[in-house]
Homo-oligomer: A and B are copies of this chain.
Amino acid sequence: MGIKSGVAKAGIKPSGQLDILVMKFKPSVYSVYLTQNSLAAAPVIYDREIREKQKKISAIVVNSGNANAATGEEGLRNAEEMAKIVADKFNIPSEEVLVFSTGIIGVQLPMDKVRKGINKAIDNLQDWDLELSAKAIMTTDSFPKYAEEEIKVNGKSFFVKGISKGAGMIHPSMATMLAYIFTDVKISKPLLDEITKDILEKTFNSIDVDGCESTNDSVLFVATGESDIEITEENKDLLVKPLYSVALKLAKMIVKDGEGATKLIEIDVRNAKSNEEAKKIGESIAVSNLFKTAMFGNDPNWGRILSAVGQLHLDIDFSKVKLFIGEFLIYDGKPIKFDRKKAEDYLKRNSEIKIKLILNRGSSNWKYYTSDLTYKYVEINAEYTT
């Protein structure tokens, strides 16, 4: 395999766990989506510049344990240096290296450790190990997140493989958390951009844990072109399907691992006027603390769900709305009698919950994913201080 990865323990994480990841591949087309938070971290600012001028990249370097955010000029110089160390070691231009960081905000990178760690990771380079790579980018994550698919077409084949991290500060705007997804198809950059933009919206941009957008959110798609499969406008569905599937798996793992979460909740908004409206409605439910605590309490509280929709002031006619929790219809244009015990049991017994809201005002659908709000979320974010 042409994609290589190396990891190292640089000592940035107080726990002493893996905290450096370097990946090397042949010069490849890519699409990268970076947070819009105006407190953007130094690596995000650095990567924005690379994105402006570079059609191809051939390496990435990631550190966990320190976000290099709110670190001013010194932070920017450190992000640049991370790219340069990698470039020098591989004898490639600095502009072919993207840099990512995740962890604590407002603390300068310990560059002595970072330098040694990057060199060590490169010395450890091997065929891409997804699990090890995913471990090296974890922060408050409780499990490594990776997914892969192989697709066979007329005797040929290609793959889509990815890793991601994230558990808190999850509420994306242009992208969320860190995720790196590779495929070996041949594809032009414009077509890759077109396909990934749509997939991004439906996956990493449709998840929430706590309504809080991060300073370092980044999602990278890379196509190395090493397989014999060429993707064009005509056969693009070949790639869209597995790419969407891997991205969605990775995004859902982030929600499932949401700080303190006991449930992954799918909010399926149907028959809205537009995709934008459907997404906005899903999001409004997803971020409602009253909804999220009700889900934790196994309470089929339809009033809180509809009220979160009403909060958008979209002039929804609630006499046309149907609401399901699992397979149970719990609101049908007006309050109805439903078997509360059964609906509660469904919520109690499942860690993956489906909410379906049928608006009957158009033909657009959207799925949004969120977690419940628990005592543990408060504990993680109140008791464990920075």
Contacts and interface: CB of A to CB of B under 8 A. Distances in A.
Interface in A291-322: 293-294, 296-299, 301-304, 306-316, 318-319
Interface stretch (A83-91, A155-163, A206-214): A206-214
A39 B213 contact: no
Interface string A201-225: 0000000001111110000000000
B378 A374 contact: yes
Contact of A303 (B69, B294, B379): B69
A110 interface: no
A335 interface: yes
Interface in A170-229: 171, 173, 210-215
Nearest to A169: B290
B310 A37 contact: yes
A113 interface: no
Nearest to A305: B39
A304 B381 CA distance: 11
B299 A386 contact: yes
User: Which of A70, A107, A307 has its CB near the most chain B CB atoms (within 10 A)?
Assistant: A307
Nearest to A297: B382
User: Which of A107, A213, A214, A378 has its CB near the most chain B CB atoms (within 10 A)?
Assistant: A378
Contacts of A289: 210-212, 289, 373, 377, 381
A93 interface: no
Contacts of A287: 211
A282 interface: no
A105 B383 CA distance: 34
A383 B297 contact: yes
B70 A335 contact: yes
Contacts of A297: 381-385
A169 B385 CA distance: 28
A374 B377 CA distance: 10
A71 B335 contact: yes
Nearest to A373: B378
Contact of A378 (B40, B171, B378): B378
Contact of A311 (B37, B288, B311): B37
A288 B170 CA distance: 11
